[in-house]
Amino acid sequence: MPIVLRCHKGLGPTVTGTALVARDNFSARYDLDRKAGVFSRPTHALAGQSYAGQILVLDTAKGGVATAWMLRDMQTRGVVPLALVFNRVNPILAQGAAFGAVTMVDRFDGDVTDLIHTGDRLRIDPACGIVEILNRDP
């Protein structure tokens, strides 16, 4: 039986995939090499790691408005995270996820970067506000 985490209702379709977790923040402009599909900011906790097809589990959003456009372009080119799972996002990430049809949820009971571990298999249902950790028992 999976661990079930409840969150605020989110955006985008239901997806199943693998978690990449860090206690760090996020901006597509500040942190990513969007051509190579890797974290390029040297000081980011995930520097050098590929994000394409991963479920990113991070704390919150950084400054900058560019992510609102960038997620859709990344989606179209197929070099995009499968989903974004955050403790709390800012308007830009929400707007970008809505515009780019990228799955995104936030506002959990507890720190989601503790609750979810890198490598966990997750099923995210944004319409119901549920994230299931499929590979671990409660």
Partner 1 sequence: MRLTDEEQAMRAGALGEPRRWAIEHQIAVGEFFDAADLVPVSQAHIMADTESLGETGVAFLENLAAMPEAERRVRVPTLTDPRGLDFQTYKRLGQTEAMAALEARAIAALKAFGVLMTDTCINYQTIMPPTSGEHLAMGDTGVVIYSNSVFGARSNFEGGPSALAAALTGRTPRYGYHLDECRRATRRFRLTTQPRELSEWGALGGIVGRASGSYWEVPLIAGIDEAPGSDALKHFGAAMASYGSTALFHMPGVTPEATEFAGAAAETVPIGRAELDAFVAAYGATGDRVDIVVFAAPHLSLVEMAAVAAALDGRRVHADTTVLVATSPEIKHAADRMGLTRRIEEAGAIVAAGICFYQSYAGELAEANGWKRLLTNSAKLVNIIGGYGYRPTLASLERCVDSAVAGRIV
Binding site for partner 1 (CB under 8 A): 8-11, 25, 29-33, 40-44, 60-70, 72-73, 75-77, 88, 90-92, 94-96, 98-99
Residues 6+ apart with CB under 8 A from 36: none
Q: Which is nearer to partner 1, 42 or 138 (CB)?
A: 42
Phi, psi at 115, each rounded to 5° = -70, -35
Q: How far is the CB of 87 from partner 1 (least distance, A)?
A: 9
Nearer to partner 1, 78 or 138 (CB): 78
Q: Which is nearer to partner 1, 28 or 120 (CB)?
A: 28
Rg (CA), the chain: 13
Q: Measured from the CB atom, is 75 or 120 closer to partner 1?
A: 75
**Smallest gap, in angstroms, from Cβ of residue 53 to partner 1?**
18
Cα 125 to Cα 11, 28, 85, 129, distances in angstroms: 9, 23, 11, 6
A 10 A CB-CB count for 127 gives 11
